[in-house]
Copies of this chain bind each other. A is one copy, B any other.
Amino acid sequence: MRIHVHDPRIGLPRRLTPEIWAACFAGEDPCWAGLEVTFGETNEALAAMLPDVETLVCTQPPPRPFHAAPRLRRIFCTFSGMDALMPLDWLPPGVTLLNNSGVHGAKAGEYAIMSMLMLANNVPAYAADQGRQLWQRRPGGMLRGRRLTVIGLGALGGGAAKWAKQFGMHVTGVRMRPGPHPDCDRVCATGRLEEVLPESEFLLLACPLNDGTRNILNRTRIGLLPLGGYLINIGRGDLLDQEGLCDALDSGGLGGAVLDVFAQEPVGPGHRIWTTPNLLMTPHVSCDDAGSYLAQCLEVLKTNLIALAAGQALPNQVDPRLGY
C-alpha cells in the first residue's frame, strides 16, 4: 500500500517523522508488511504523490478538492473534529474518511477535572488578582456532591465523566442517543437540555460541532444556568454564544469559566474575552498529550489497517451525516 504523510507543520512544534512512524510500525505483521510511506510538508509534495497514493495521512485538513488521485481509498486525519472539512461533498466517491477519535479522551479527562477544580478553587480570579498584585481570599470548595452536566459523551465527555465520578460528583450526561453510561448518574437526550441546565453547577461542552450542536448553548440557555454556575468548553468555540457568556460573567450571573476553544482562533489582541472576569483561557491545547499524541494516532491507524486486512468495518470511519 502506498501511503503519503502530509504534515504541514502548523501549530504545535511536533512532526510526524519517519522515526515516529518506524517506531509504531516496527516488527513483522502482514497488515503493514507492504507499506511504502513517503513524507511531505507542502501541497506540492502532496500533489506529486496523488497519482499513486492509496492512503493519505493528514496532520491538518488537506487541500481540496482532490484531483488526479485515482488510487486513493482512504484519508486518515490525526485529529478528530471534522467541522473544518464539512460538508464532505469534496470527498471523492469510494474514499473513506477516518479520524483519530479516542486519542483525546484521557488527556481531555485530565484537563476537564483540572478545570472543575480550578473553578471550585477560584483560580481564574486568583490569576487575575496576581496580575494586579492583589492579595484577596475568596471562599473555595470541593467537588464532592456537586452536579456536573456533560454535553457529549464521546471520548472527551467520557474521560471527564470518569474523573468527575471519582471526585464524588453527581454526573448528568446529555447526548443525542441516551442510554446508560458507566460514569453518569443519568443520561438525557439532547431535547431535555433545558430541563437539566438549571441544576448544572458545572457545565462541560464536549460534543462535536455540527448543524445540530452549533450554538447549542445560546444566550437563552446560558441564562438557565444557576447563579454562580461554571462553564468549561473543550469542544468547539461555536458550540456557545461567546458574547452571551462574557455578558453573564461580567454581570456575575455565572461564577466562572475555563475555555480552551473559541469562535475565532487565535483570539486577537483587544478581544473582550481576554479580560472578562473569572474566565481563564488556554489556546486550544486541552486534548493533546504532547509526548504521546502522534504515536497514539498511529496506533489508531494501525487498528484500522488491521480491520481493513481482515475485511471488517473500519472503527474510525467518519459518518458524513454526523461528522464524527
Contacts and interface: CB of A to CB of B under 8 A. Distances in A.
Query: What is the copy number of this chain in the assembly?
Result: 2
5 nearest A-B pairs in the assembled complex, by CB-CB distance: A139-B290, A135-B266, A114-B117, A127-B127, A131-B131
* Chain A interface helix/strand/loop/mixed: loop
A283 interface: yes
Contact of A274 (B133, B265, B291): B133
Interface stretch (A11-19, A181-189, A218-226): A11-19
Contact of A111 (B111, B121, B284): B121
A118 B123 contact: yes
Interface of A: 11-14, 106-107, 110-111, 113-114, 117-118, 120-123, 126-131, 133, 135-144, 166-167, 265-267, 269-271, 274, 280-286, 288-292
Contact of A141 (B117, B143, B291): B291
B142 A106 contact: yes
Contacts of A269: 133
B281 A126 contact: yes
B284 A137 contact: yes
Nearest to A107: B142
A275 to B, nearest CB: 8
A286 to B, nearest CB: 8
B114 A110 contact: no
B123 A282 contact: yes
A140 B289 contact: yes
22 contacts: A11-B137, A13-B139, A106-B144, A110-B117, A110-B142, A111-B117, A114-B121, A121-B286, A127-B280, A128-B131, A130-B281, A133-B269, A135-B265, A135-B267, A135-B283, A137-B283, A137-B284, A139-B290, A140-B288, A140-B289, A141-B290, A142-B289
A156 to B, nearest CB: 14
A285 B130 contact: no
Contacts of A114: 114, 117-118, 121, 123
A113 to B, nearest CB: 7
Given A117-B113, A280-B127, A285 B138 contact: yes
A113 B109 CA distance: 13
